[in-house]
Amino acid sequence: MSALDLDPGVIGRARSAARAIADQVQTVVAPRTTVSVERTVLRLLGVDGVRKRDDVPLPNVVVDHVAKHAGLEGGIFRSLAAAMLATDSTAQQVAEAVAEDGLTLTHPADESAVRALGTQLGEKAATRIAQRRAERDQLLEEYGTGPDPLHYVIVASGNIYEDVTAACVAARQGADIIAVIRSTGQSLIDYVPYGPTTEGFGGTYATQANFQIMREALDEVGEELGRYIRLCNYCSGLCMPEIAAMGAIERLDVMLNDALYGILFRDINMVRTLCDQAFSRRINGRAGIIINTGEDNYLTTADAVEAAHTVVASQLINEQLALDAGLEPDQLGLGHAFEIDPALENGFLLELAQAQLVRQLFPESPIKYMPPTKHMTGNIFRGHIQDALFNLVGVWTGQGIQLLGMMTEAMHTPHIHDRYLSLENARYVMNTARDLGDEIQFKPDGVIQNRAQTVLLKAADLLEEVGEEGILASLSRGVFADVKRSEDGGRGLSGVLSKSTDYLNPIEEALA
């Protein structure tokens, strides 16, 4: 028996409205590709590195080159394959020749040879991804993992080597997931920086080398502790699908990967993001990565009590879009947050209602629960208590991933002992209240039951409204997070292209 008596009729109504919205998104996505999607194809074909004279990443060099000389509408692969076949070279060799030796790529002559090569290389890429996934499965089986909710902490020094130290300390203090926060602003650059990095602002650049360095360190400390330590990064921004490819190759386990976040919070063009999220999720799905969605952020700009239903509505949309991209329900870390004003009487009851509602709506998904941020102050002592209450709701309602709050939230990126204190807080609260949820039923017609029903009902209504109006128009109207975005505004629109009728993407085909 579930703790909340939710009306299955309303749930069904909400889900089918979300389904219809996802169908609308498909009509936006299907006829288009983006420069970042094409760069991702190159990465999964093995292209990596930078042009020597200016450090421009080779995937950018080649995509920009083809856009200029042959056009990208048919996909990057055609032009690349023509050169690979003509000179019997690898994708990397062709990319280097374009960057360093002035090779010009043109349209291919022999279509069937290109298709055959595409199938072969697509399969190879899919196998490479599958191998890393199998490796994770084996390690998880060997070492196991902590109990739910998994303890997720961030490292954010700007220097990948300092991050490694912080991550290993956190793992020893009980962390299950280490997220390396990206340098602020990375989401808005239209390339992925290259190599290990030691300078960043508010975080550390997501580069493939940094992924690898952290992966190795976590494997090592995990082996010592006998617990698999998951690695998380940010598959968002203008390079969303490229980060997915890098994560698949370096065996990341969790990725922030939201369909709408970039539109709302980074002012990235909505068509660009919708196309990019679809391809990135296709890769994440195949890589066995758990995605985290960003609905928690809605509550940093909108009010957590008034806007609670927008979180649920967005989760249902994110769910349908993710299923479309081939993700399984157990890969969906749908996001929400403990952001109600602490001064509100009975606010805790509303938090509990929301967390339990989300838990019950997505029973197979590892819900990602975010800590208080908006109402954290410089009073670290009070902040520690807010985080304790958040931890109580997390264990009580059986959230899957608990992003642990730091008492110094909103003041500075975490210090080494901030993480320890936070992990100790979670361990204490969750251990002492482990099975509380199994013991509690909520009073029929009580505050918690009624709140959950109301939020669910409003979410269903909103979804129907959005479906009727159209998702793009709704985003323009500021339905989510009180943020308004226009269809042709935002960053990255120039990187969106209409596919030609013979568009070819061998990676997409292999992962479909």
Partner 1 sequence: MTDARKVDLTRVRAYGDDLDDGQVQTSFSLPVPFGDEANEAAKQLAMKMGLEEPMIYHTHDLGEGFTFFIIYGTCQHSVDFTRIEVPKITAKKRSFYTINQAIEETFGRKLRIIGGCTGTDAHTVGIDAIMNMKGYAGEYGLERYPWIEAWNLGSQVSNERLLREAVSFQADAILVSQVVTQKGVHRNNLAELIDMAEAEQIRDKMLFIAGGPRVSHEMALELGFDAGFGPGTLAPDVANYVFDELHARMNESVENA
Nearest to 404 by CA among 149, 147, 146: 149
By beta-carbon proximity to partner 1, the closer residue of 81 and 214 is 214
User: Is residue 482 within the footprint of partner 1 (CB under 8 A)?
Assistant: yes
Min dist CB 201 to partner 1, Å, is 5
User: Is residue 413 within the footprint of partner 1 (CB under 8 A)?
Assistant: yes
User: Is residue 414 within the footprint of partner 1 (CB under 8 A)?
Assistant: no
Write the binding mask 290 to 329 for partner 1: x where contact by CB under 8 A, - elsewhere. ----------xx-x--------------------------
User: Is residue 509 within the footprint of partner 1 (CB under 8 A)?
Assistant: no
Distances (CA, A) of 108 to 75, 82, 91, 389, 499: 12, 5, 15, 62, 17
* Three-state SS at 350: helix
**Piece of 180-188, 318-326, 358-366, 426-434 that binds partner 1 (CB under 8 A):** 180-188
By beta-carbon proximity to partner 1, the closer residue of 109 and 410 is 410
By beta-carbon proximity to partner 1, the closer residue of 309 and 359 is 309
User: Is residue 416 within the footprint of partner 1 (CB under 8 A)?
Assistant: yes
Whole-angstrom distance, CA of residue 268 vs CA of residue 490: 5
Nearest to 297 by CA among 465, 152, 150, 482: 482
By beta-carbon proximity to partner 1, the closer residue of 54 and 381 is 381
Which residue in 420, 442, 480, 503 binds partner 1 (CB under 8 A)?
Answer: 420
At 84, give phi and psi (nearest 5°).
-60, -45
Whole-angstrom distance, CA of residue 502 vs CA of residue 410: 50
Cis amide bond preceding 193, omega within 30: no
Write the binding mask 254 to 283 for partner 1: x where contact by CB under 8 A, - elsewhere. -----------xxx----------------
Min dist CB 302 to partner 1, Å, is 8
Which residue in 71, 185, 326, 489 binds partner 1 (CB under 8 A)?
Answer: 185
User: Is residue 200 within the footprint of partner 1 (CB under 8 A)?
Assistant: yes
By beta-carbon proximity to partner 1, the closer residue of 300 and 500 is 300
Which residue in 87, 104, 120, 184 binds partner 1 (CB under 8 A)?
Answer: 184
User: Is residue 168 within the footprint of partner 1 (CB under 8 A)?
Assistant: yes
Which residue in 46, 146, 202, 470 binds partner 1 (CB under 8 A)?
Answer: 202
Q: How many CA atoms lie within 13 A of 473 on its CB side?
A: 9
Whole-angstrom distance, CA of residue 250 vs CA of residue 300: 32
By beta-carbon proximity to partner 1, the closer residue of 78 and 491 is 491
Whole-angstrom distance, CA of residue 139 vs CA of residue 225: 13
Task: Mark out the alpha helices in 288-415 (DSSP H runs).
Answer: 298-301, 308-324, 347-361, 380-396
Contact 93, 105 (CB under 8 A): no
Min dist CB 404 to partner 1, Å, is 16
By beta-carbon proximity to partner 1, the closer residue of 68 and 417 is 417
Catalytic residue annotation: 261, 296, 368
Identify the sign of the CA torsion 389, 151, 399, 264.
Answer: positive
Q: In what order do the strands lie in the sheet with 290-292?
A: 332-333, 290-292, 254-256, 230-234, 177-180, 150-155, 401-403, 368-370, 335-337
**Piece of 32-40, 272-280, 319-327, 416-424 that binds partner 1 (CB under 8 A):** 416-424
User: Is residue 436 within the footprint of partner 1 (CB under 8 A)?
Assistant: no
* Three-state SS at 369: strand
User: Is residue 165 within the footprint of partner 1 (CB under 8 A)?
Assistant: yes
Whole-angstrom distance, CA of residue 289 vs CA of residue 332: 9
User: Is residue 172 within the footprint of partner 1 (CB under 8 A)?
Assistant: yes
Please count the other Cβ atoms lying within 10 Å of the Cβ belonging to residue 49: 17
Nearest to 69 by CA among 39, 32, 108, 105: 105
By beta-carbon proximity to partner 1, the closer residue of 412 and 477 is 412
What part of residues 371-390 is at the interface with partner 1 (CB under 8 A)? 373-374, 377-378
Min dist CB 233 to partner 1, Å, is 17
Min dist CB 158 to partner 1, Å, is 6
By beta-carbon proximity to partner 1, the closer residue of 69 and 417 is 417
One-letter amino acid at 420 equals Y
Q: How many CA atoms lie within 13 A of 170 on its CB side?
A: 34
Enter the tokens of residue 297.
């952020």
* Number of residues binding to partner 1, judged by CB under 8 A: 32
> Vertex 72, ends 67 and 77: CA angle to 5°?
115
By beta-carbon proximity to partner 1, the closer residue of 121 and 181 is 181
Which residue in 183, 273, 280, 292 binds partner 1 (CB under 8 A)?
Answer: 183
> Vertex 390, ends 439 and 316: CA angle to 5°?
85
Min dist CB 433 to partner 1, Å, is 23
Which residue in 158, 394, 400, 467 binds partner 1 (CB under 8 A)?
Answer: 158
Min dist CB 369 to partner 1, Å, is 20
Whole-angstrom distance, CA of residue 228 vs CA of residue 146: 8
Q: How many CA atoms lie within 13 A of 79 on its CB side?
A: 25
User: Is residue 486 within the footprint of partner 1 (CB under 8 A)?
Assistant: no
Contact residues for partner 1, defined by CB under 8 A: 158, 165, 168-169, 172-173, 183-185, 188, 200-202, 265-267, 300-301, 303, 373-374, 377-378, 410-413, 415-417, 420, 482
